Amino acid sequence: MSKNSESELTIDGLLKQYSINYLYSILGILIINCLMQYFFMHYIFAIANAVCFFLHVLFIIFIYRLPFLYIKPLINLYLIFIFIFIYFFVYNLWEASLVTFIWYLLIPFGIFNIFSYKIIVRWVIAIFGVIILTVLIPNIYKIESAFSKKYILFTNAYTIITILYMIVFILYYNNKITKRKEELDFKKRKIIKYPPFSVTTEEVTESEERYEELFGEIIAYFERNKPYQNADFSIQDLAAQLHSNSTYISRAVNINTKMNYKTFVNKYRIEQVKTQLSDVNYDKYNLMYIYTSAGFKHQSTFNKVFKQVENMTPSTYIHIHGLKNRDDLIIKN
């Protein structure tokens, strides 16, 4: 990716890039670890690493084309999986090498750029709890317990080198994300509110241009990530993703569309509903599925918004547009 294209990335774009490259790094770690386990004839460990490697490949393929908005909820599931995977090795190795506990650092450090401090603290507490349990649980459940001094030496060295690499990698992306936030923050701070008096024509024109630029970012984000499909996506969420604030977002939408933010979002949702109603690929889906996938939680809300936007009820719209195959999908208005 060129420097110019990188500088145009949104915070979400950088976070997705970070997440994908983080997973690529884990793939490399797993390959080397798998080979090392095989070399020292710890075949169960080698198989575990190989399985984890292929699961990571599948996860990368699954999320590669998803916007970060949809990747972020999946990260929690991934963390639970990697937490269990690390525990498998730590439980079997900790008595021979306390260094193995360091692998748990991958979790709080890995999510440093993605989640709030509150969530990071929860994971740290969970890790300390598991470490205590690891020490207390009897050794009878261990799969392997005999390790050579050479193996432990290699394992410790590899663990320390790997963790140092991951810390440098995370700090590198943290610096990129922080700089990008500062750039966006500087750009948004230039947007001024219209003062009631003493404003020059040049200042008004400049402010309008900046709100138009912000609105362009909003449209690009909506077209690319379709956040309106998430019923809980708020103006504060959008402001955070564009590193702006809700006041600027609301004003940019109002100036460019003469609508408030809520109406603006609902128009996107209704357009998706109309598109899917006319799409033969959605014939097998009922209307409830269609309107909930567009971001409406309740039937009553959908009916009300549809009538406001289209000046007719959903059932009337279906009949007028000759969607006879949709007769069975009509809901009570």
Backbone torsions φ then ψ of 331, nearest 5 degrees:
-110, 165
Closest listed residue to residue 159, CA positions, set 85, 105, 88: 105
pLDDT at 141: 66
Distances (CA, A) of 145 to 35, 97, 99, 148: 19, 11, 16, 10
Q: Where are the domains of the chain?
A: 3-183, 201-258, 264-329
Per-residue pLDDT tens digits for 287-333: 888 889 889 988 889 999 999 888 888 888 888 876 655 544 444 44
Per-residue pLDDT tens digits for 218-276: 998 898 888 999 888 888 888 888 888 888 898 989 988 888 999 999 999 999 988 88
Angstrom distance (rounded) from CA 214 to CA 251: 10
* Comparison of pLDDT for 66 and 204, the residue scoring more: 66
Rg of the Cα trace of the chain? 26
Per-residue pLDDT tens digits for 86-109: 988 888 888 888 888 888 888 888
Among the four given CATH numbers 3.30.70, 1.10.10, 1.10.3470, 1.10.357, the one describing domain 264-329: 1.10.10
Per-residue pLDDT tens digits for 140-197: 667 766 788 999 999 999 999 999 999 999 989 988 888 877 776 665 555 444 444 4
pLDDT at 140: 64
Closest listed residue to residue 306, CA positions, set 254, 258, 266: 266
Average confidence score pLDDT of the chain: 82
How many other C-beta atoms can be found within 10 angstroms of the C-beta atom of residue 65? Answer: 6
Exposed/middle/buried for 150, CB within 10 Å: 0-12, 13-18, 19+? exposed
Backbone torsions φ then ψ of 196, nearest 5 degrees:
-70, -30
